[in-house]
Amino acid sequence: MAAKKILIVDDDRSISELVSLYFTKEGYEVSACYDGSEALDAFHSFEPDLILLDLMLPGVDGYDICREIRKESQVPIIMLTARGDTLDKVVGLELGADDYVQKPFDAKELVARVKAVLRRAQSPRPALQDNKERVEHEGLIVDKGSYTVEIGGKTIEMPPKELELLFFLASNPDRVFTREQLLGHVWGYDFFGESRTVDVHIKRIREKIDDLGIDLPWSIKTVWGVGYKFETESE
């Protein structure tokens, strides 16, 4: 079996060299670049199985790199950040990052997170219904095969995790899920993030729906003290 390939994008060469050493010892093939403007070229030429992406980079920042990569690929991305602000982390996750690690980090923990993200990427996500790729309700179509959402006949742009969260809730109508359950089903059971991540994604989905200004026979309801559900109108 070919070694998994990891691309490190970080302008701190000492960190890149240390991380490269750890992952090389673990049997991975590693490549590194140190400037955000070179990251997309490195991504295309190296074709990594996972990207370790620093947020603060010269040239182009990590947010923009993540956004561009997500336009063409679902390759796992772990963001590296020197800032502990929850909003920074959530924004990164919203753009499609799979996890984040705050600097300074323990190299062994980073290896464990990489292995966890790669494991999630290689196995199907747990679901309560069958493994269908499309769910429909009146005024709603969510298609994971093409990663598209239609609400009220209009195509709505959504980052991957927003789409996957809406898909999961809509696939299990009128069932209440806790934030931890949603983290498990959408982000993976070994996700290292915070439950606030779910709240922010729900808020963004609702804003997109509200902006349409149309009446729909379903909604995403908050069940106070518990979590959320995709609520349909009774017939």
User: What DSSP string runs through the chain?
Assistant: -PPPEEEEE-S-HHHHHHHHHHHHHTT-EEEEE--HHHHHHHHHHH--SEEEEESS-SSS-HHHHHHHHHTT----EEEEES---HHHHHHHHHTT-SEEEESS--HHHHHHHHHHHHHHHHSPPP-SS---SEEEETTEEEETTTTEEEETTEEE---HHHHHHHHHHHHSTT--EEHHHHIIIII-TT----THHHHHHHHHHHHHHHTT----SEEEEEETTTEEEEEE---
Query: pTM to 2 decimals?
Result: 0.61
Are 5-122 and 134-232 the same fold in CATH? Answer: no
Q: pLDDT digit string (tens) for 15-53?
A: 899 899 999 999 999 999 998 889 999 999 999 999 999
Domain boundaries, the chain: 5-122, 134-232
Q: What is the fold, at CATH topology level, of the domain defined by 5-122? A: Rossmann fold (3.40.50)
Architecture of domain 134-232: Orthogonal Bundle (1.10)
Q: pLDDT digit string (tens) for 158-215?
A: 888 889 999 999 999 999 998 888 888 887 755 555 667 888 889 989 999 999 999 9
pLDDT given for residue 97 in this prediction: 81
Average model confidence (pLDDT) across the chain: 84
